[in-house]
């Protein structure tokens, strides 16, 4: 397979082409669930109205941002947390009010007073290596506040890293977790903590174990166009024979389905059907770029994609099954393979040059 290189791009060009997940043209593809009679103003919450769906997203990052925008378009009340005032102001322009929050925030009680008025809670804050899940540090306060609220659905976004190294074998949700890295260990501890809290509260609780997340603005296409060098973690993953991944639209689709079919203590692997190696994905991304913008392609290798190939071991190797997600929730993947996902990203991307 031919490998190509893009010329160096100026910062001005990079700023012009960088897409934002919130404006992703294909989010209309999801047949989003019919909303209950919700209000559009995310800052106004009426706790006594049982007919309103209200989602609070702890951690308005890449996935949370996509899902929040879809919920708002479906006329849900949406709020959540972010880490900075600039991010808060950015979201306010889109009609969603956020609460600045970090792991060392002193205003836990005030935040939880807001959270308890919501019917749905999505946790998208990654645990920290030294303290674990920041919300679960105050689990008694959390339990006390939420037990007197309106919560009926809770979902924690985890990672397939909790399975550890399986020697390339296929694994499903019944495979016992065996995390090796500290980040995977605290992920598993967070799963157990939120499942326990959900049982105590008597609410629908589900865990989504996500593969590598990609989408517009965050994909192999974007990495190549920006001429970004791989991080050490990406270099290690580049040499793996198998890498599970999932498009952000499909994550949102699973979240949608889990609100329509809530379960108690359910765990879902959320990945596509094609655990292809990272090297293969980047080579395909280069082919797509060459076809879309042939005038700017030079036939030179992309050496940084293949650095440290010999140094990596099979640590974390596995192929993750997704049948439970499909069968239980009735999900049909929008992007069953990285190929269809990357094709959509390229087709809907403005000319960056």
For the chain, give the percent of residues with pLDDT over 90: 59
Domain around 85: 11-26+47-347
Q: Considering Cα of 167, then 168, then 169, then 170, what sign does the dihedral take?
A: positive
Does a structural domain hold residue 5?
Answer: no
Does a structural domain hold residue 195?
Answer: yes
Query: How many whole angstroms separate alpha carbon 303 and alpha carbon 257?
Result: 42
Q: Quote the pLDDT of residue 235.
A: 52
CA-closest candidate to residue 70, choices 335, 250, 330, 246:
250
CATH code at position 160: 3.40.50.720
Does a structural domain hold residue 6?
Answer: no
Structural tokens at position 178: 């065996």
Stronger pLDDT, 39 or 117, i.e. the higher one:
117
51 Cα distance to chain centroid: 28
Considering its fold, how many domains does the chain have in total? 1
Alpha-carbon dihedral of residues 132, 135, 139, 145, nearest 10 degrees? 180
Of 216-225, 264-273, 276-285, 304-313, the range with the lowest mean pLDDT is 304-313
Structural tokens at position 141: 């306060």
Does a structural domain hold residue 1?
Answer: no
Does a structural domain hold residue 151?
Answer: yes
Query: How many whole angstroms separate alpha carbon 334 and alpha carbon 273?
Result: 11
Does a structural domain hold residue 4?
Answer: no
How far CA 226 is from CA of 25, 97, 249, in Å, comes to: 21, 31, 23
How many C-beta atoms surround the C-beta of residue 209 within 10 A?
A: 25
Tell me what the mean pLDDT of segment 272-296 comes to. 90
Of 16-25, 157-166, 306-315, 317-326, the range with the lowest mean pLDDT is 16-25
Q: Are 124 and 251 in contact (CB under 8 A)?
A: no
Does a structural domain hold residue 208?
Answer: yes
Which residues are bridge partners to 121 per DSSP? 56, 154
Q: How confident is the model at residue 184 (pLDDT cuts 50, 70, 90)?
A: very high
Does a structural domain hold residue 55?
Answer: yes
Q: Quote the pLDDT of residue 165.
A: 87
Q: Quote the pLDDT of residue 27.
A: 43
């Amino acid at each position: 397979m031919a490998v190509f290189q893009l010329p160096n791009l100026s910062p001005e060009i990079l700023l012009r082409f960088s897409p934002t997940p919130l404006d992703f043209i294909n989010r209309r593809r999801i047949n989003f669930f019919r909303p209950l009679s919700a209000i559009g103003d995310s800052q106004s919450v009426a706790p006594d109205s049982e007919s309103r769906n209200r989602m609070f997203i702890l951690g308005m990052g890449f996935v949370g941002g996509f899902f929040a925008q879809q919920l708002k378009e479906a006329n849900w009340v949406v709020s959540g947390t972010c880490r900075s005032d600039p991010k808060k102001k950015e979201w306010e322009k889109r009609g969603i009010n956020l609460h600045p929050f970090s792991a060392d925030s002193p205003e836990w009680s005030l935040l939880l007073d807001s959270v308890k008025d919501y019917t749905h809670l999505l946790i998208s804050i990654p645990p920290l290596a030294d303290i674990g899940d920041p919300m679960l540090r105050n689990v008694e306060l959390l339990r006390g506040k939420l037990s007197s609220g309106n919560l009926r659905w809770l979902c924690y976004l985890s990672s397939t890293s909790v399975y550890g190294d399986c020697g390339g074998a296929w694994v499903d949700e019944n495979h016992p977790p065996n995390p090796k890295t500290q980040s995977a260990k605290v992920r598993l501890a967070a799963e157990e903590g939120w499942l326990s809290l959900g049982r105590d509260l008597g609410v629908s609780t589900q865990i989504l174990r996500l593969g590598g997340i990609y989408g517009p603005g965050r994909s192999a296409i974007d990495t190549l166009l920006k001429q970004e060098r791989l991080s050490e973690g990406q270099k290690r993953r580049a040499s793996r024979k198998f890498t599970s991944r999932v498009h952000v639209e499909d994550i949102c689709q699973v979240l949608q389905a889990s609100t329509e079919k809530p379960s108690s203590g359910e765990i879902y692997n959320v990945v596509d059907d094609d655990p292809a190696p990272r090297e293969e994905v980047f080579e395909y991304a280069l082919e797509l770029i060459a076809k879309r913008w042939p005038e700017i392609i030079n036939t030179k290798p992309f050496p940084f994609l293949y650095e440290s190939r010999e140094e990596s071991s099979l640590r974390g190797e596995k192929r993750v099954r997704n049948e439970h997600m499909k069968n239980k929730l009735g999900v049909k993947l929008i992007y069953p393979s990285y190929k269809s996902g990357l094709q959509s990203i390229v087709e809907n991307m403005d000319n960056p040059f």
